[in-house]
Amino acid sequence: MSQEPVPEPDIRLPDAEALGRSMADIAGRSQRLVADWLKRQAAEGVTLDPLNVGSAFMEMTSKLLANPGSLMQAQMGLWRDYMTLWQNTARRIWSGAEPEPVISGDPRDKRFADPAWKQNEIFDFIKQSYLLSARYINDVVTKVDGLEPKTAQKVDFYARQFINALSPSNFALTNPEVLRQTRETGGENLVRGLNNLLNDLEQGRGNLRIKMTDTASFKVGENIAATEGKVIYQNALMQLIQYSPATEQVYARPVLILPPWINKFYILDLRPKNSLVRYLVAQGHTVFMVSWVNPDESLAAKDFDDYMVEGVFDALRMIEKVTKQTRINAIGYCLGGTLLAATLGYMAATGDERIASATFFVTLTDFTDAGEIGVFIDEEQLAALEGKMQKRGYLEGAEMATTFNMLRANDLIWSFVVNNYLLGKEPFPFDLLYWNSDATRMPPAMHSFYLRNMYQKNLLAQPGGITMKGVPIDLGAVTIPLYFLSCREDHIAPWTSTYKGARNFSAAPVRFVLTASGHIAGVINPPDGGKYNHFINDGLPDKPEDWLAGATEIAGSWWPDWQHWVAGFDDARVPARIPGKARGVKVIEDAPGSYVTVKA
């Protein structure tokens, strides 16, 4: 009698010898990492609550306990929802019924995209239990009466961080995709994930620096930041790049771009298909780009005035030398735009007319409502940050990156925890995330001035509130044409706040344009992609809501709108300017230069 073949098991068993070697290596590396980290924590005198979260939650708790009735009501609501969920789950298991969910998540929430979260009764129960608890926590902390607004904002922000961290998708035993992968690979995914975790800890010298993209797939100057040009000037704070022309005739008036120095300039020159620099050159502009240095302790004393003098004014001087033009169109992105705004106030007060028009990309000049970044700006945190910066001579770039990543924790933290550490996969090549991971340091003097005078005190919005080189700054004295580009889903520079800042330039003709998406994707939106629409409104009413209500939605990129706007001021043309050909100007090196390649 023939014997039926034994079916292959659907669970792959790991290689015991290979697993043993991997675990021995992991154990040794873990011990070294923990020992090194503890030494550094002791040396740096790290406090137990550097973000000053504890006091905010203590105040919230005291207010909450003063009104036990509302807390009891919320708990009863949660209990009723849980009982309904239990009943619905039992009906699904025993009778195959498909009752309506007690709570439905956001369909755009990628954490629960796997079909098992809906199709499997147990995972559907886990998901809905989490969503009910998350809603309960959020309702409780956001409806506490009597909290000071800044405290309420901090409690809300960190409660959401807590909620996001406890998502069942972040844990191996409650994530169906991870369980499936573990079953299929015999647990190799978890071993690979542990190795990925240790690699990231080693890269961050004991601090977790999550790898967001395949860094080996990109090289600055080769497949990103590759638009042809030359570095024609440099000083301690910046290199100035002049890009090669793409047309035989160019606009007489050149363009100067001032990117933020919190990140590197090549967000505006990622790849040919989404490079704003390449687009501007193709339109016939002579484009100059400031590439800020990645500062170390030797530049600790550089302040906001230095960034104006050695950044903006040195660039203006060199551009005039190259082009023989006394007036230019300036563009400032984020913090670069804030510097540009302060510089325009200084130039208005001193009679300097070298900037003919100014464009602001997602720029705050009024910090009344600066969004969730304000959570990190209180006296206790600023004092601790200043102490740390003074000790090192700079603010570490990774610390800045973590702050911004926390604003979109599910997308920029937890999705990579699942992919890299639980699924054991390598992240995909993505140019924007490569740029996002290429952090820069901050000089203490400059960064302290910026955080205290802009974010904390909002002095730039007040006439004479700050001084640059001893000159009081009044944005209302600026009279040149201004273009404000803001993004509707911006979590760093909320568009309603950038709108308020635009209105502070009361003497200037202002064009305000609103695009879809966020702080980066809304700006880097080439016409060929046609991905995001934008809104225009020639008026500038008091309230941003009224502006939007009266705005016209235009399909596609805002780039052509800006091109039409800037070309309307001066359409004069001259023969194309070749970098390095101007008399008395020497080429230092090819673009993108050496400053941008310095890692934090």
Distance in angstroms (rounded) separating the CA atoms of residues 102 and 87? 10
Candidates 334, 398, 475, 508; catalytic one? 334
Q: CA of 354: how far to CAs of 251, 254, 325, 574, in Å?
A: 16, 11, 9, 19
Q: Which two tokens stand for residue 228?
A: 């042809």
483 conformational bin, left if phi > 0, alpha if psi -120 to 50, beta if neither: beta
Q: Which two tokens stand for residue 478?
A: 């600026």
Count Cβ atoms within 10 A of the Cβ of residue 46 and give its class: 0-12 exposed, 13-18 middle, 19 or more buried: exposed
454 alpha-carbon distance from chain centroid: 18
| 334 annotated active-site | yes
Q: Which two tokens stand for residue 500?
A: 């308020």
Q: CA of 464: how far to CAs of 348, 457, 458, 471, 477, in Å?
A: 13, 13, 12, 8, 11
Q: Which two tokens stand for residue 416?
A: 């990579």
Q: Which stretches does DSSP call E strand in 42-111?
A: none
Written in H, E and C, the secondary structure of 518-557 is CCCCCCCCCCCCCCCCEEEECCCCCCHHHHHHCCEEECCC
Handedness of CA 514, 517, 520, 526 (dihedral sign): negative
**One-letter amino acid identity for 307?**
Y
For residues 348 and 478, the answer to whether their CB atoms sit within 8 Å is: yes
Distance in angstroms (rounded) separating the CA atoms of residues 434 and 214? 8
The string of DSSP letters for 261-296 reads: SSS-GGGGSSSGGG-HHHHHHHTT--EEEEEE----
> Looking at the annotation, which residues are catalytic?
334
